[in-house]
Structure 1
Amino acid sequence: MTNQENNQNQRNNKSVAKSIKNTAGSAFETVHNALEATENVAMNTVDATNNAAKNLTGNKNNR
């Protein structure tokens, strides 16, 4: 294998590694955003349940 071929292979390997790194970064970001969305839904559900319970029992807070 010539030096030129070796250099091209090294460039290709760096390109593949960079692509894998970018894909992994995007995947982690997607999972992170999904977890944040799930947390928001859960917290809103807890708040709504708390408010409903207060309204049913007449124990409203004066805010």
Structure 2
Amino acid sequence: MRDDFENIRAERDIPLHRSITQGSNYAGLWKQIALGIVVGYSVLGVLSAVGWWVFVKLALSGLQITTP
């Protein structure tokens, strides 16, 4: 099979023009912002819970309760 590379060109005969409307540029941006807020808040909540659990575990490990 013979390869024919004579007609391959990098540039286009007619420039490609895409119609961009002003509203479509940021159409999904509010979803990404909302998802970032929800995920960030969830991660901070989990990290805070783990931090408090470790703090309480360490604070109570040295505490001895004796009955008189």
**Which of the five TM-score ranges fits, normalised by the shorter chain?**
0.5 to 0.7
Q: Please report the RMSD computed on the Cα atoms of aligned residues, expressed in angstroms.
A: 1.9
Unaligned runs of 5+ in 2: 1-19
Structure number with bigger Rg: 2
Highest relative contact order (Cα 8 Å, sep 6+), 1 or 2?
1
TM-score (norm 2): 0.57
1:43 aligns with 2:51: no
In the alignment, structure 1 segments of 5+ residues that lack a partner are 52-59
**Number of residue pairs aligned between Structure 1 and Structure 2:** 49
Which one has a larger percent helix, Structure 1 or Structure 2? 1
Query: What is the TM-score with the length of structure 1 in the denominator?
Result: 0.61
Consecutive aligned runs of 4 or more in structure 1 exceeding 4 Å deviation: none
